[in-house]
Amino acid sequence: MLLSGASVAYAGGGSTGLFHSPKGFGLVFEWECSPAIYNSYLLYADCFPMLTGDSTVPGIKLDFSHNKMFCLSETPERRICLIAGGGFGAGYVQDYDMQKYSLCPMLLGRTGLRAMYTKGLRLELAWQLELGLSVRRNTKGDYLSTLYKAGIYRAFLPGLKISYAF
């Protein structure tokens, strides 16, 4: 009976917090649709080109993902889950081999671990693959599109979300 009550405490509602990664930093809002499903909205500054010295200005990204949780461990105080999800995003970012920023629509795939505590704290460590197209104009004014290589090359860099449920 205690475990079923704990499951109800985790369901429903939203959380808001911060995102930290070698890729960048930003804000996150999450909405729990059910005890096993949540949606995540992430707005962050893409700072990786600044860390490598390729740029002095960060890009910007907005991501949405629909995630499923698979419970690994549950106690009355906390719940630890494996997560997997997919979604889409867009950004104004700099890719490898490019001097200028370009628009980049993308599809996302995510996997990681999530810990949820009854006091409202949510911690998530996840990896995200971004399959996208980098769309830009060349010197002649024509539009060019190439594969967004940074979304694939940087998939091994983890992201940490720290949020609080309200």
For residue 114, the model assigns a pLDDT of 97
The enclosing domain of 12 has a CATH number of: 2.40.160.20
**Which residues sit opposite 141 in a β-bridge?**
none
DSSP 3-state of 158: coil
For residue 36, the model assigns a pLDDT of 93
Amino acid (1-letter code) at residue 48: F
* Element holding 166 (H helix, E strand): none
Three-state secondary structure along 4-58? HHHHHHHCCCEEEEEEECCCEEEEEEEEEEECCEEEEEEEEEECHHHHCCCCCCC
Alpha carbon 30 to its chain centroid, in Å, reads 11
Q: In this structure, what token pair is assigned to residue 25?
A: 């930093």
For residue 44, the model assigns a pLDDT of 95
For residue 10, the model assigns a pLDDT of 47
For residue 12, the model assigns a pLDDT of 59
For residue 98, the model assigns a pLDDT of 75
For residue 82, the model assigns a pLDDT of 97
Helices marked H in 33-83: 48-51
For residue 57, the model assigns a pLDDT of 86
Residue that is written with structure tokens 């719940």 in the block: 79
DSSP state letter for 8: H
Nearest partner of 96 among 62, 55, 144, judged by Cα? 55
Residue 153 domain boundaries: 2-165
Domains in the chain: how many in total?
A: 1
For residue 97, the model assigns a pLDDT of 74
CA-based torsion, 130, 39, 122, 42: positive or negative: positive
Per-10-residue mean pLDDT of the chain, 166 residues long, equals 38 86 95 94 89 82 97 93 97 84 94 95 96 87 88 93 94
* Element holding 6 (H helix, E strand): helix 2-10
